[in-house]
């Protein structure tokens, strides 16, 4: 079952941190571009940035999104708020004497072109703190984009996927797909989280093997 791509875009969230959201988000951007969509990317806040030679903060996730989108956007537009400490963005901002508010992040996700598909990547899990006054869930709700959930494909993934899906729908948002991403190599060949998950949710469930290309997520745009 494939997703019909929507021109509005998608909010990419995780069941937890370190589940490979950026890796998957970049492949989603590339798939949309291949389908003929013009794309804008946003990761409004990124922590754990490294000081560069000119004192600028070098990003990892935003730089990957920039490359995936053909270098069409400056880093400053993709990630407006960049912090050194590898902590939740609001806490990393405090360490630099800043106050990060949800209003800042919503503004940072504004489109430059209304007719382009917007891909927004959150930070951490769906209920992870993102600003002094809000969670990733609050940003997703403000943007009203369909949500793609990325889950580490390991023992416990079915539980994580179903809980995150329920959390998303409780915010009156639509889950577009669940992607089981093998962040680390599969150690048990008998495990099949996709097969175990599918009977419990009426959603597209895709599996991305360790280090592999994401299988086609999007179906035809017509009909």
CA distances from 119 to 42, 111, 126, 183 (A): 6, 10, 16, 21
Residue 109 domain flag: yes
Give the domain extent around 181.
9-208
Cβ atoms of residues 191 and 200 within 8 Å: no
Distance from C-alpha of 177 to C-alpha of 158, rounded to nearest angstrom: 14
Q: Total domain count for the chain?
A: 1
- pLDDT tens-place values along the chain, 223 residues long: 688 888 899 999 999 999 999 999 999 999 999 999 999 999 999 999 999 998 889 999 999 999 999 999 999 999 999 999 999 999 999 999 999 999 999 999 999 999 999 999 999 999 999 999 999 999 999 999 999 999 999 999 999 999 999 999 999 999 999 999 999 998 888 999 999 999 999 999 999 999 999 999 998 765 4
In a domain, residue 216? The reply is: no
For the stretch 98-118, what's the b/e string if a residue is b when 16 or more beta carbons lie within 10 angstroms of its beta carbon? eebebebbbebbeeeeeebbb
In-domain check, residue 60: yes
Identify whether 53 is part of a domain: yes
45 domain residue, yes or no: yes
Q: Identify the pLDDT of residue 223.
A: 45
In a domain, 156, yes or no: yes
Domain harbouring 49, CATH code: 3.40.50.300
Domain annotation covers residue 213: no
Q: Are 33 and 5 in contact (CB under 8 A)?
A: no
In angstroms, the CA 157 to CA 146 distance is 21
Degrees (nearest 5) of the Cα angle 90, 92, 93? Answer: 65
Query: Which residues does the annotation mark as catalytic?
Result: 43
Residue 188 covered by a domain: yes
Express each pLDDT in 4-43 by its tens digit: 888 899 999 999 999 999 999 999 999 999 999 999 999 9
> DSSP assignment of 83-106, as one string?
-SSSS-HHHHHHHTT----HHHHH
């Amino acid at each position: 079952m494939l997703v019909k791509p929507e021109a509005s875009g998608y909010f990419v969230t995780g069941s937890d941190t370190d589940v490979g959201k950026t890796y998957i988000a970049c492949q989603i951007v590339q798939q949309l571009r291949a389908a003929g969509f013009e794309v804008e990317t946003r990761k409004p806040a990124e922590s754990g940035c490294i000081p560069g030679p000119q004192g600028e903060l070098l990003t990892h996730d935003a730089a990957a999104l920039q490359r995936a989108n053909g270098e069409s956007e400056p880093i400053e537009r993709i990630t407006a708020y960049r912090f050194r400490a590898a902590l939740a963005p609001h806490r990393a901002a405090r360490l630099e004497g800043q106050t990060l508010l949800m209003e800042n992040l919503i503004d940072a996700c504004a489109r430059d072109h209304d007719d382009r598909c917007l891909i927004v990547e959150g930070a951490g899990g769906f209920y992870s703190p993102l600003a002094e006054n809000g969670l990733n869930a609050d940003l997703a709700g403000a943007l009203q984009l369909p949500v793609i959930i990325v889950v580490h494909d390991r023992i416990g993934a079915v539980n994580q996927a179903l809980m995150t899906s329920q959390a998303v729908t409780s915010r009156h948002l639509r889950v577009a797909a669940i992607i089981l991403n093998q962040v680390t190599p599969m150690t048990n060949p008998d495990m099949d989280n996709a097969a175990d998950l599918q009977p419990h949710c009426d959603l597209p469930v895709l599996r991305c093997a360790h280090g592999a290309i994401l299988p086609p997520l999007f179906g035809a745009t017509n009909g």
